[in-house]
A and B are shown apart, each in its own frame.
Chain A
Amino acid sequence: MSATAHAAAPPSPSRRRTRGGTGDMAFRLLAAGAALLVLVLLGLTALSMLWGGWPAFRTFGLHFFIGTEWDPVAKRFAALVPIYGTLVTAAIAMLIAVPVSFGIAVFLTEVSPRWLRGPVAAAIELLAGVPSIIYGMWGLFVFVPFMADHVDPWIDGTLGGLPLIGPLFAGPPMGIGMLTAGIILAIMVVPFISAVMRDVFALVPPPLRESAFALGATRWEVVRKVVLPYTRTAVVGGIFLGLGRALGETMAVTFVLGNAHDFSISLLAPGNSIAAAIANEFTEADSEIYRSSLIALGFLLFVVTFIVLAAARLMLARMARQAGR
């Protein structure tokens, strides 16, 4: 490009050329600065949380991650309950969301008549557009009573008495708790996972599918033995993308978890999660160490979601390269 500028130089008045040059330089620097800002912001976020959470990490050490006492009065904080709650609710969400999303993707690519695909895909996409606080309100006023009246008693009655896994499902039918939160999270991440699955299913080269059909394979066999193996990496990437969202989701679970800091193995008992604890308590944190403990939790959440989302993006990028885009 500099060669073109030189060649064009002689006839044009030098004053104009330099003005174009400085304008170019300023514009380029502005754009580069904006792009670098994205990097800097991510780094600053991590640093500021590490800085803010440091007093808690230093005071409580490893015990911060494995202890269960959360006592603002005695100023002793250990975060196993919210950490456990975050992991368990995300796990429940994945157990429900992955098969459902897979079903939706299969329906959209294999079953649905062509005219129905657009509307159904748009409707599922709409679920992703609903603000998370709406899920929270609906959860609190509608879904929690529904769980308390119809689902929890049944689970307690049938599964609660079983040996080994019984304690997981035994408990008073209050409606709030980790199971309810997990189900709501599942609904929230289904549109993300199913959209990725549908998109990568469409990337399978038609000759591959057609040869399987020509050998007499059924539609289901084509999905299981051709489409799924071909898209495996990206499918896992899509699942991780959903997992990253489920781990960090705040408002929906804050409404239905019950903000309890007592450890309970039961999925029907009130619990807590990292994001919900921060949302509920941060503005009320009245001591420096209390606030620092919450920021330390935020740092932990940030690091874990960063790793999960980075893994997701790497797997999706591999699929995109494979498909030659």
Chain B
Amino acid sequence: MPVSRALHRRRRIVNLLGLTVATLATLFGLVWLVWILGVTLANGIGAVDAKLFTEMTPPPGESGGLLNAIVGSAIEIALGVLFGTPVGVMAGTWLAEYAQVRALAGTIRFLNDILLSAPSIVIGLFVYALVVRPSGHFSGWAGGVALALVLLPVVVRTSDETMRLVPATMREAALALGAPKWRMVTQVIWPAARTGISTGILLAIARISGETAPLLFTALNNQYWTVNPADPIANIPVVIFQFALSPYDQWHRLAWAGALLMTVVVLALSVGARAALRRSR
């Protein structure tokens, strides 16, 4: 049967071709990863020295470090976590434990998922209108609020999901002992969902550590040392943005050093959190 043999051969060739192209596509994806991380590492390593952690961001042409930006970034991230986490965990608690009107809970989950991938530059504009404009100046507070808004949907989603995984028997056991519902939630559900909630927070911290757009019009930047959130505050992403687009070699070096620092922190946090999440499931 020559016809069917030819058909068979053609199908096998198409199969081989399709699977080969799929493998090549995967290699294509991995090449970019290696290229980007390799370049960041190569350029960043050379620019890391002791001054990076001990000196302020320099004016053009002078040597310096990123101390004010590193501390500023830590302050901004801490503010974001401080503002965003309690609201996020409470909202997740309501969705998982209290929402009796299913339509409302469904709507909130749906909109929260959209917020999760909404453009972060829009959040920057919103916080500009909400905080910067009424107060009349850029400030660390505004940057913290912007980062909190980026963090919020991640925490809401992970805490909602992990709390719903807690077995109903544990709720019933707590209520049967006469515990009011709020004690059941705080002393049974939260501890049982602790790993999931905290890895969610870690993932959210990884996300906001790499965000630039929400800080551009809120925390802005500051060439000098400050730990006061009422002032504009230096931070790694905005320093990278300004230094990388400048014409000065010394600023480029510092931008690469900042880029390496940020990439290491962000990837370590997100890989660690994901590994912990996988182990707990």
User: A residues near B, CB below 8 A?
Assistant: 1, 4, 8, 12, 20-21, 23-24, 26-28, 30-39, 41-42, 44-45, 48-49, 51-52, 99-104, 106-108, 110-112, 120, 122-127, 129-138, 140-142, 187, 190-191, 194, 218-221, 223-224, 241, 244-245, 247-251, 255, 275, 278-279, 282-283, 294-295, 298, 301-302, 305-306, 309-310, 313, 317
Q: B206, A223: Cβ atoms under 8 Å?
A: no
Q: A283, B216: Cβ atoms under 8 Å?
A: yes
A131 with B263, Cβ < 8 A, contacts A34-B91, A218-B15 known:
yes
Q: A31, B90: Cβ atoms under 8 Å?
A: yes
Q: How long is the Cα–Cα vector from A279 to B183 in the complex, in angstroms?
A: 46
Q: How long is the Cα–Cα vector from A138 to B12 in the complex, in angstroms?
A: 41
Q: How long is the Cα–Cα vector from A221 to B7 in the complex, in angstroms?
A: 13
A190 with B220, Cβ < 8 A, contacts A42-B111, A135-B36 known:
no
Is the C-beta of B181 less than 8 angstroms from some C-beta in chain A?
yes
CB distance from A56 to the nearest CB of B (A): 13
Taking CB atoms and an 8 Å cut-off, the chain B residues in 26-44 that contact chain A are 26, 28-30, 32-33, 35-37, 39-40, 43
A38 with B91, Cβ < 8 A, contacts A218-B14, A245-B117, A298-B125 known:
yes
Tell me which of A45, A101, A306 contacts B126 (CB under 8 A). Answer: A45
CB distance from A83 to the nearest CB of B (A): 14
Q: How long is the Cα–Cα vector from A111 to B26 in the complex, in angstroms?
A: 11
CB distance from A238 to the nearest CB of B (A): 12
Tell me which of A102, A255, A309, A310 contacts B244 (CB under 8 A). Answer: A255
CB distance from B22 to the nearest CB of A (A): 4
A38 with B112, Cβ < 8 A, contacts A31-B90, A137-B240, A218-B14 known:
yes
Q: How long is the Cα–Cα vector from A44 to B88 in the complex, in angstroms?
A: 18
Q: B125, A142: Cβ atoms under 8 Å?
A: no
Can you give 6 A-B contacts (C-beta < 8 A)? A31-B93, A35-B90, A107-B19, A135-B36, A137-B256, A305-B117
Q: A129, B266: Cβ atoms under 8 Å?
A: yes
Taking CB atoms and an 8 Å cut-off, the chain B residues in 229-251 that contact chain A are 237, 240-241, 244-245
Q: Which of A136, A245, A247 lies at the interface centre, i.e. has the most chain B CB atoms within 10 A of its CB? A: A136
Give 6 nearest A-B pairs by CB, closest first: A103-B25, A248-B119, A131-B210, A34-B90, A27-B182, A31-B94
CB distance from A119 to the nearest CB of B (A): 10
**Closest Cβ neighbor of B241 among chain A residues:** A133
Is the C-beta of B99 less than 8 angstroms from some C-beta in chain A?
yes
Q: A52, B129: Cβ atoms under 8 Å?
A: yes
Contacts of B121 in A (CB 8 A): 248, 250, 275, 278-279, 298, 301
Contacts of A123 in B (CB 8 A): 30, 33
Taking CB atoms and an 8 Å cut-off, the chain B residues in 65-111 that contact chain A are 86-88, 90-91, 93-95, 97-99, 105, 107-108, 110-111
Taking CB atoms and an 8 Å cut-off, the chain B residues in 1-59 that contact chain A are 11-12, 14-15, 17-19, 21-26, 28-30, 32-33, 35-37, 39-40, 43
Q: A134, B213: Cβ atoms under 8 Å?
A: no
Q: A104, B108: Cβ atoms under 8 Å?
A: no
CB distance from A255 to the nearest CB of B (A): 7
Known: A20-B183, A130-B33. 8 other contacts (CB 8 A): A28-B181, A31-B90, A37-B87, A137-B240, A221-B15, A248-B119, A279-B121, A298-B121
Tell me which of B32, B118, B259, B274 contacts A125 (CB under 8 A). Answer: B274
Contacts of A36 in B (CB 8 A): 108
Could you mark each residue 205-220 of chain B with 1 if its beta carbon is under 8 Å from any beta carbon of chain A, else 0? 0100111110011001
A28 with B182, Cβ < 8 A, contacts A35-B99, A39-B108, A127-B29 known:
yes
Q: How long is the Cα–Cα vector from A133 to B153 in the complex, in angstroms?
A: 21
Contacts of B180 in A (CB 8 A): 20-21, 23-24
